[in-house]
Amino acid sequence: MSEGLQQGNATVNVKHESGASSPASGVGTAESRSVPSGQSLSELLLQLEDYSPTLPDAVTAHYLNTAGLEASDPRVVRLVSLAAQKFLSDITNDALQHCKMRGAGQSKKATKDKRYTLTMEDLTPALQEYGINVKKPHYFV
């Protein structure tokens, strides 16, 4: 299935597999998508030059090269870094919500000094929401 996005005179065709819609794919099934105006897109690209993402450019460039993409423009690498940072942030936020929901009925102590620990028990359902299946390894004694 392909969708056409139009902005002024330009048309962008986005192809994706049918039945593979997930929150991580970034492409939904809506018939029309709003594309930012050219001015706001150019502002974003200018802001990317000064932005230092959490994931270093070298790490992102390495994985892009491993995937077969040689990005000569550093703004592309930073844009992918920003998207990856958003993806990781969404997953960890979902895992935190799972942790809070799981611990909501256990104790009624003071919540202002409450510390949370990221565990596989909380991370697994958060990843499953994005179509990533994780299984714990078997430990041998």
Summarize pLDDT for 95-107 with one digit per residue, the tens.
999 998 887 766 6
- Position 41 scores a pLDDT of 83
Residue 133 lies in a domain: no
Residue 26 lies in a domain: yes
Q: Hey, what long-range contacts does 3-7 have (CB within 8 A, 24 or more apart)?
A: 3/27, 3/31, 3/33, 5/33, 5/35, 6/35, 7/35, 7/37, 7/38
Residue 112 lies in a domain: no
Residue 6 lies in a domain: yes
Beta strands in 31-132 (DSSP E): none
- Position 3 scores a pLDDT of 41
Phi-psi region of 8 (alpha: psi -120 to 50; beta: other; left: phi over 0): left
The pLDDT of residue 117 is above 50 = yes
Q: Looking at the whole model, is its pTM more than 0.95?
A: no
Residue 19 lies in a domain: yes
The pLDDT of residue 39 is above 80 = no
Do 98 and 125 form a contact (C-beta atoms < 8 A)?
yes
Residue 140 lies in a domain: no
Do 48 and 82 form a contact (C-beta atoms < 8 A)?
yes
- Position 112 scores a pLDDT of 64
Count: domains in the chain: 1
Residue 65 lies in a domain: no
CB hemisphere CA count around 128 (13 angstroms)? 9
- Position 42 scores a pLDDT of 84
Mean pLDDT of 19-27: 40
Q: What is the mean pLDDT of the chain?
A: 75
Residue 16 lies in a domain: yes
Residue-number span of the structural domain to which 5 is assigned: 1-32
Name the amino acid, one letter, at 69.
L
